[in-house]
Structures are given as structure tokens and as C-alpha cells.
Amino acid sequence: MKQVLTNNTLLKILVIDDHESVLSGTVAVLQKHYTESEIITAINAYYALEQVSILQPDIVVMDLSIPKNIGVIAKPDTGVQLLRTLMKNYPDLNIVVQSAHIRTLVRIKPEIDSHKGGFTVADKSLTTQEMLTRVDWALQGLTHTKDIKGIHGGLEIKPEWLQVLSLAFDEGLQDKAIAEKMSISERMVRHYWSKLQDALDLYPDQGKNIRIQTEMRARAEGLID
């Protein structure tokens, strides 16, 4: 599921929200932006899991405060548990959390850190364009979690990310050579780049080379000499 999708690719998008007005509004925005798309909806966790299993969407855009099933009260913890299940069963699934309860994601920080698919957060207070940007980033397999208060309690860099930095900027290796050196896939190398850039608060910006920005920030933070 993790892939860079062009405007000509038919996207499968699953939108999960139990508020009818929010659900229809999100669908309308996504349909306008992704004209070549199939958009599926779900209003509870049970039906969402069923839809993911059957339809294998490219991306899930979901609220956290949702009910487990019909007739059950919506709770943010239900969305958190659904995320746990999705990330465990579909490690390459691209996910956007669009919610007013994003701070609860701090409970599943380890799962988010290890998730291989795109994972971005869009507070419901964001503008339409900002929300669409987060969806675009997730479709590119990028991570953006800076809006989650408490999830970045100081700069946390994993050893494998430091190794990628060193091989790239101290030894001048490209991703393919880095993968061979570390005995991992190129896909995993790209995953490490995404996690590192999220930790450094770096995201795609038109006209700027994110790899160069990463090197500059990493040197400024003392991660490489």
C-alpha cells in the first residue's frame, strides 16, 4: 500500500468518522482534490476494519472519537485501539488522523514510530489546504507527528537513523548503497529518512531539497560532525 501515487492513479480512500456532517464534508474535499478516486466511508471501528480487509485502501483518513459498533458511545480510545490494530495488521497502510483528540496518540508512540506506511496528523482546526497537504504527505509515505503534544519530549533519535545519517553524509552513500551496507531494503532506508525528518521537524517544502535540509539540521543538532 505504501507508494507514491500520481494524479492519474485511481486512489482508494477510506474515511472514518461518525459525525455525518464532518464525514460528508471530508469526502467532498477529498473528491474535489483527488478526482480519480474511490472513496469509502465507515462510521464505526467494526465496519472500518471490515472495509480495510475487503477493499485494501491506499489511505485511511480517520477520526479518533468513534464508536466500536452501532449504538455504542464514541470514545477517543476506540480510535486509538483501531489504529493499533491497523498498524499491526497493515504495516504499510498510509494513515491520516483527522481529529480534535490527537494528543491521545501519545499512548501509542512506539507503534507510530515503527509504522512503515505514511502517518500524518491533521487537527480538525486546520484549514482545508493544510489537511490536504497532510493527506498528500501520507500518500508519499511520510511521517508528520509534530502536532501531537508530548510525543516529541526532546529530540529522540534511534541508532539506525544515526547510521543512515553517517553513511549518507560522512561516507557519501546513496540509499541503495546504504541499504546494502546496513543489510536492509531501500524501502526501510526511506522509512528511516521519514522518521528522522519528522523528529527534526522537516517536511517537504516546494523549492527546497529536503535531503540538504536534513543534513543542515542534523549537523546543527550535533547528530553528525
- Expressed as residue numbers, the domain containing 55 is 11-144
The conformational region for residue 201 under phi > 0 = left, psi -120 to 50 = alpha, else beta, is left
Query: Grid coordinates 543489510 are at which residue?
Result: 183
Q: Report which secondary-structure segment, H or E, holds 14.
A: strand 11-16
Query: For position 3, what pLDDT does the model report?
Result: 41
Query: For position 221, what pLDDT does the model report?
Result: 80
Query: For position 18, what pLDDT does the model report?
Result: 94
| Average pLDDT of span 2-26 | 79
- pLDDT range class, residue 2, cuts 50, 70, 90: very low
- pLDDT range class, residue 6, cuts 50, 70, 90: very low
Is the domain of 107 the same as that of 216? no
Query: For position 93, what pLDDT does the model report?
Result: 97
Q: Is residue 127 part of a domain?
A: yes
Residue 72, SS3 per DSSP:
coil
- Indicate the average pLDDT of the chain: 89
Helix, strand and coil content of the chain, in percent to the nearest 5, comes to: 50, 15, 40
d(CA 20, CA 119): 24
d(CA 144, CA 100): 16
Do the beta carbons of residue 79 and residue 45 sit within 8 Å?
Answer: yes
How many C-beta neighbours within 10 Å does residue 210 have?
A: 14
Query: For position 4, what pLDDT does the model report?
Result: 44
DSSP classification of residue 201: T
Query: Grid coordinates 531501500 are at which residue?
Result: 186
Compute CA distances 2 → 7, 8, 118, 124, whole Å. Answer: 16, 17, 7, 24
Q: How many domains does the structure of the chain reveal?
A: 2
CA neighbor of 137 nearest in space, from 121, 152, 114, 124: 121
Q: Is residue 89 part of a domain?
A: yes
| Average pLDDT of span 124-153 | 84
CATH of the domain at 100: 3.40.50.2300
Is the domain of 183 the same as that of 105? no
CATH of the domain at 183: 1.10.10
| Average pLDDT of span 44-65 | 96
Do the beta carbons of residue 194 and residue 143 sit within 8 Å?
Answer: yes
Q: Is residue 76 part of a domain?
A: yes
Domain boundary among 92, 121, 144: 144
| Average pLDDT of span 68-84 | 93
Query: For position 127, what pLDDT does the model report?
Result: 93
Query: For position 219, what pLDDT does the model report?
Result: 86
Query: For position 142, what pLDDT does the model report?
Result: 93
Residue 123 identity: D
Tell whether the model's pLDDT for residue 225 goes beyond 80: no
Between 10-19, 123-132, 197-206, the lowest mean confidence (pLDDT) is in 197-206
Do the beta carbons of residue 130 and residue 121 sit within 8 Å?
Answer: no
d(CA 86, CA 75): 17
Q: Report which secondary-structure segment, H or E, holds 61.
A: strand 59-62
pLDDT, greater one: 149 or 160? 160
- pLDDT range class, residue 151, cuts 50, 70, 90: low
d(CA 75, CA 68): 8
pTM tops 0.85, yes or no: no
Domain boundary among 121, 144, 167: 144
Is the domain of 39 the same as that of 100? yes
Long-range contacts, 209-216 (Cβ 8 Å, 24+): 211/168, 214/165, 215/168, 215/169
Tell whether the model's pLDDT for residue 155 goes beyond 80: no
- pLDDT range class, residue 159, cuts 50, 70, 90: confident
